[in-house]
Amino acid sequence: MAIWQRAAGVSGELFRLAGDLDRKRHYRFAEQLRSATVSISNNIAEGSGSVSVGDFENFLNIARRSIFEVANILSLLCREGYWRQEQVSPLLNELEEQSRMILAFRRTLKGQ
């Protein structure tokens, strides 16, 4: 499934950034970033095993909310000077695209 592949693909870079936060002793930020990152692909995967379209849509909604959580964490850490904007912008763009893909996929589910 393309939306799961995209979510799993970006997680490596987000985990790397979380590791950077660990090295700087910002453990709470690192753990929150990891947790929200894993939630994206986990909820897509879990939802794909649902027996009803409504359940799947709910899991996709949770995944999308986790995308917004990750984006918020990245934006806050950038604003506070932990990372540079050019480091974070490609990730924010990818997260925005993932959010759009989830919305589009949900629309196709409603048509079934």
Would you state the pLDDT for residue 111? 76
Q: Which amino acid is at 74?
A: L
Q: Does residue 49 sit in helix, strand or coil?
A: coil
Would you state the pLDDT for residue 110? 80
Residues 102, 64: contact at Cβ < 8 Å?
A: yes
CATH number for the domain that contains residue 56: 1.20.1440.60
pTM of the predicted model, to two decimals?
0.93
Number of domains in the chain: 1
Give the structural domain span for 62. 2-110
DSSP 68-111: HHHHHHHHHHHHTTSS-HHHHHHHHHHHHHHHHHHHHHHHHHHT
* pLDDT, average across residues 17-29: 94
Q: Which of 100, 7, 92, 95 is nearest to 47 (CA)?
A: 7
